[in-house]
Chain A
């Protein structure tokens, strides 16, 4: 393999580091491990990993602090590991520059999917102007949306929302971010708009709007457009 991305894992739990080591190396990633925040930041500076996975609860520096400090100079993707009920913090970290998150206990395949998506996002800076999910094709250049080949009529706000999701496909977007991007800064707390328009998009684009496969809700955090839904386990 010509290119082997390296991933820095910052976690104080040895078992988690080992689990990630096995998971990642068996998937052709180079792995660097760090047990503390300080060590992690040092490793990041010296080894320039392609992606960083950091735990939120670190013994020395708080994980969110690690993210903020890394973001000052590091432009690779950062994925945050955390436990449940820290969604508020996650949302603010995502707004502060983290790319994605995974809730412990996580499933390895889920984490791998996040890693792939984050790396892909990062490499392919000029976006494909055509994005496909399910039987929906979004042509960002032509501003057209088709479903099973048929044109889908969207209002301009619906389209803006969809375009934002599509441009950030497979990445979680916080409520706050979406509202700011689509509706503007003054609307960043008006989640009801978002709920309605997401519902509209699902109705128009999802196979079964009651059980969406692509436009997914990330409870208490935001939304994510999934292009290749993993088969349910």
Chain B
């Protein structure tokens, strides 16, 4: 690093610090009263602090406090508001727990929650109390709580070593780091022991055994030191965080990163804790890496691995999984990617097959710029022995029977020909069978086959026959060779097979993800995305899926989306709702409401949580690490697709709003003129008629009345058009198909426009064999009236308007044409647009008639086009597919 940059804080670190500060302003603040062990007076101090803030009229309540019936403590509780506890019955025992929902509903400024490390009664929302506290903080409630040093996850091991008593109730260190304030409650060892003696901590009978077992002076000193050191480290960290944020030069350093390799080795747990401590002490972040190698791994190993990964996550590591044949290369690669300068591995980190060439050596070879720490191992590697031990026997009984049968069959065939073949040849044949068998079955049946065939060969073929004795030394050698060869072949083949299976599983996962990605990307619309998502999750995880969508008002819909494959009851819905609001997975196999039947995953969009997916598997065991990973990936993919659709929909809606605003503007400008003209005519002329002077002249009266009538008719037409338009826009009109005689339709239309076409020649031409067609008489009448009205309005008097109909292959074709001026070519494309009016046409139209006509025709699944006739004039062609009924059918009846 260049000297100039020395004092400049890393922008990422700064950003992190700012982000943290911003998050914290929304979150509640956590204050921990921290002590070395029980009896130092944490609860007492917490209550004292609570009384102080109460005096300042701060809204503070006791959510859960355990007084242990200590007099001083109980006195302090008095006067504070105590929220009722929740009683839970578990196996006939009644347990009292903090009522999380009651606290959330009460929403105080500060809540007192004693004993952070407490484990909740089964059936509670979260298994651990600290998770309840996190939820309170997430909801903006400040929390005062108490904690002993031995309950910190990273210290649990050490404490167990010191005191010899395993610690079961632990909290992740992250919550300790999350605390905004840690108040160390410290008293000297002597004072504490004095308190025990006085029975202030435990009732006298229990106190004795407690002092003997746990509270020995040496233990207490060690715990005290640990608590003091942790608090001091914290102060140091805070100072660092502060100086980063406020950019005090000199203190900030480049960010360090540690990397730890995760394996299924039991010692790995210690390694993870160690790395966390190192990271914490050196104020660096850390990455935990698991390298998947091809090879057999059974469910037990997977479970241990999963436990280690969860531990690393809990302790604040970023967990990365990668696949590689070479573990060392993978670790170095990830270290480079993650910018980690130190790799921490355990001594047990060795390759399975070639112990001599262990991973540590190769790691050292490859990592020239990276420090490698090798931690000493506590457990004397039971690991290697376990791996040499044979792969798991999972074959079904059927396979054993089949293997046995195959051997018996070959033996039976060979037996009569033994003289002819020679017994050595039989061994070769059997060996051939043994080499083939692993292709079809697992290791168990093959070993059985190997053993049985060896013994049978000995018994039946090797002289002396029908004894297990072997006469010649060469035959003994041959028997042993046969047995060893058969066993090794079978083991090697089955190992290859299991590696193949691992590769195939990985391939299947990749294929599943690829398929899902492809299908999701081609899915259009939310429903389609959900359909694809549900189908994929179902087939990959053999699970039933329920989809609950977020609603526009922000709440979650209680009715599952139709793509769901199971329904949720009230209780399950509660879990989904929790997952929705807290944006975390919940339900079965999670930390929240694990008693649920299904696991619920929030589908997070860029703005809101869009939905919750509930996944219910018939298999009660939790998903393995790889499957869990796959599911997380699937959920992430689905989230992205859902978000895409959500944003599309948002854009679409915005454009619809814009479009309707534009329409509204046009409507206003066009309609206001169109409405006002006839109204002005009617009002003006009516007033004229009231005047004596006008009324004298009968011919003027007549013409004024005619004017009024025309204006009223124009107004009426406009209103009808607007109403029609509204019906079309709102989708409220329905097409009612009925058998229609085109002659009848035309006659009706002509009657409607008789007055408008008085000055025109209307020519009707219907094909002789015109059948009945199925149309909505009223709608088509309207369409043709609009077209004829248009033709009459835009052609000079005396023009000819033709109304023609024919039927071709089940399509009814109606044309309306005139011999007027036709359309300007640029208008042809636009005549059906709403409010479009051909430039330069006389006023009196609204530009709605054709648009309505088009909508009505399209409602018949037909088309309407405008064109100019070759011989001059405009032409509209309507094509409507229809059932037809020939008239002839009825002539015969007459």
Do A and B share a complex? yes
Residues of A whose CB lies within 8 Å of any CB of B are 84-85, 87-88, 105, 155, 157-158, 191-193, 195-200, 202, 209-212, 216-217, 219-220, 232-233
Determine if A196 and B747 form an interchain contact, defined as CB atoms under 8 angstroms apart.
no
Determine if A220 and B764 form an interchain contact, defined as CB atoms under 8 angstroms apart.
no
B760 touches A (CB below 8 Å): no
Determine if B740 and A195 form an interchain contact, defined as CB atoms under 8 angstroms apart.
yes
- The smallest C-beta distance from A161 to any residue of chain B, in angstroms, reads 11
When chains A and B are docked, how far (Å) is the Cα of A191 from the Cα of B890?
Answer: 13
CB-contacts of B320-336 with A (<8 A): none
Which residues does chain B contribute within 8 Å of A193, judged by CB atoms? 890
When chains A and B are docked, how far (Å) is the Cα of A105 from the Cα of B890?
Answer: 39
Determine if B772 and A192 form an interchain contact, defined as CB atoms under 8 angstroms apart.
yes
Which residues does chain A contribute within 8 Å of B750, judged by CB atoms? 210-211
B482 touches A (CB below 8 Å): no
Determine if B887 and A84 form an interchain contact, defined as CB atoms under 8 angstroms apart.
no
Determine if A195 and B747 form an interchain contact, defined as CB atoms under 8 angstroms apart.
no
- The smallest C-beta distance from B716 to any residue of chain A, in angstroms, reads 6
Determine if B890 and A212 form an interchain contact, defined as CB atoms under 8 angstroms apart.
no
Which residues does chain B contribute within 8 Å of A217, judged by CB atoms? 744, 747-748
Determine if B772 and A196 form an interchain contact, defined as CB atoms under 8 angstroms apart.
yes
- The smallest C-beta distance from A23 to any residue of chain B, in angstroms, reads 15
Given A202-B743, A219-B778, 5 new contacts (CB under 8 A): A84-B720, A87-B778, A155-B894, A192-B772, A196-B887
- The smallest C-beta distance from B394 to any residue of chain A, in angstroms, reads 69
Which residues does chain B contribute within 8 Å of A198, judged by CB atoms? 741, 744
Which residues does chain B contribute within 8 Å of A84, judged by CB atoms? 720, 723
Determine if B716 and A105 form an interchain contact, defined as CB atoms under 8 angstroms apart.
yes
| B interface size (C-beta, 8 A) | 31
Q: Ordered nearest first, which 3 A-B pairs have the shortest CB separation?
A: A155-B894, A192-B739, A195-B741
B7 touches A (CB below 8 Å): no
Which residues does chain A contribute within 8 Å of B754, judged by CB atoms? 232
Name the residue on A nearest B803 (C-beta).
A210
B607 touches A (CB below 8 Å): no
Determine if A199 and B744 form an interchain contact, defined as CB atoms under 8 angstroms apart.
yes
When chains A and B are docked, how far (Å) is the Cα of A192 from the Cα of B739?
Answer: 5
Which residues does chain B contribute within 8 Å of A202, judged by CB atoms? 743, 747
When chains A and B are docked, how far (Å) is the Cα of A192 from the Cα of B778?
Answer: 16
B781 touches A (CB below 8 Å): yes
Complex partner residue of A210 from B747, B777, B778, B887, CB under 8 angstroms = B747
Determine if A219 and B894 form an interchain contact, defined as CB atoms under 8 angstroms apart.
no
B349 touches A (CB below 8 Å): no
Determine if B748 and A191 form an interchain contact, defined as CB atoms under 8 angstroms apart.
no
Determine if A210 and B764 form an interchain contact, defined as CB atoms under 8 angstroms apart.
yes
Which residues does chain A contribute within 8 Å of B746, judged by CB atoms? 210
- The smallest C-beta distance from A126 to any residue of chain B, in angstroms, reads 31
Determine if B741 and A233 form an interchain contact, defined as CB atoms under 8 angstroms apart.
no
What would 10 A/B residue contacts be, using CB atoms closer than 8 Å?
Answer: A191-B738, A195-B772, A210-B743, A210-B750, A210-B764, A211-B747, A211-B750, A220-B736, A232-B754, A232-B758
Given A210-B764, A232-B755, verify A157-B748 contact (CB < 8 Å).
no
When chains A and B are docked, how far (Å) is the Cα of A21 from the Cα of B232?
Answer: 100
- The smallest C-beta distance from A198 to any residue of chain B, in angstroms, reads 7
**Per-residue contact bits, chain B 703-715, to A (CB 8 Å; 1 contact, 0 not):** 0000000001000
Complex partner residue of A157 from B740, B755, B778, B893, CB under 8 angstroms = B893
CB-contacts of B719-762 with A (<8 A): 720, 723, 727, 736, 738-741, 743-744, 746-748, 750-751, 754-755, 758
Complex partner residue of B777 from A155, A216, A220, CB under 8 angstroms = A220
Which residues does chain A contribute within 8 Å of B738, judged by CB atoms? 191
Complex partner residue of A192 from B736, B748, B885, CB under 8 angstroms = B885
- The smallest C-beta distance from A159 to any residue of chain B, in angstroms, reads 10
CB-contacts of B753-792 with A (<8 A): 754-755, 758, 764, 766, 772, 777-778, 781
- The smallest C-beta distance from B773 to any residue of chain A, in angstroms, reads 10
Which residues does chain A contribute within 8 Å of B720, judged by CB atoms? 84
When chains A and B are docked, how far (Å) is the Cα of A209 from the Cα of B743?
Answer: 8
CB-contacts of B143-160 with A (<8 A): none
Given A105-B716, A191-B739, A210-B764, verify A216-B890 contact (CB < 8 Å).
no
Determine if A195 and B744 form an interchain contact, defined as CB atoms under 8 angstroms apart.
yes
Determine if A196 and B778 form an interchain contact, defined as CB atoms under 8 angstroms apart.
no
